[in-house]
Amino acid sequence: MISYKEQGQILEELYHLQNCELALAAFYEELAVLYRDERFFWEQAVSDEVDHARWVGQLIALTSSKIDKFSLGAFRTELLRTYIEGVYANVRKIKNRQLSRKEILILCLGYEESLLEYRPFTAVKSNLKEYLNMVEDCAPKINEHKQRIENYTRSKLEGLR
């Protein structure tokens, strides 16, 4: 059985993970505003990130109801806070036109290649069947999103050369 402190830490980290997904949605929303001719692509990315945040919400609900079946995973609160702060700092830079297109596209690749985005469910560990099913269901969708963003941004980067 995990301690009450660890239980609280798990839930806190999951809430921050959900905010990471929403921060990236805000980042992509800013790209939809900035690149109006690419708006539909970036709006789909926003929608995906909101879906990811919903999945984390479902994970929070599952973890809360069966907390004794979970243990700490890959991410710590400070890492998650730093990620959120960094994404929002880049949103401000985009709004203020302080980043070039190339820099923005490189940020997209970096975000999508991060473990936080590619494997968010490693935030906790469990052998619980409901958890494993959730991961199995969501992993292909997350991978498809990652591949779509990476392919698109790489093609746009190639066009800048």
Residue-wise pLDDT tens digits, 45-68: 999 999 999 999 999 999 999 999
Residue-wise pLDDT tens digits, 9-58: 999 999 999 999 999 999 999 999 999 999 999 999 999 999 999 999 99
Question: Comparing C-alpha atoms, which of 83, 72, 74, 78 is closest to residue 9?
Answer: 72
Tokens of 63: 């973890």
Provide the H-helix boundaries in 35-161. Answer: 39-65, 77-95, 101-113, 115-118, 129-160
For residue 74, give the 3-state DSSP assignment: coil
Quickly count: other Cβ atoms within 10 Å of residue 24's Cβ: 27
**pTM of the shown model:** 0.94
- 16: domain range? 4-160
Residue-wise pLDDT tens digits, 98-141: 999 999 999 999 999 999 898 999 999 999 999 999 999 999 99
The count of structural domains within the chain is 1
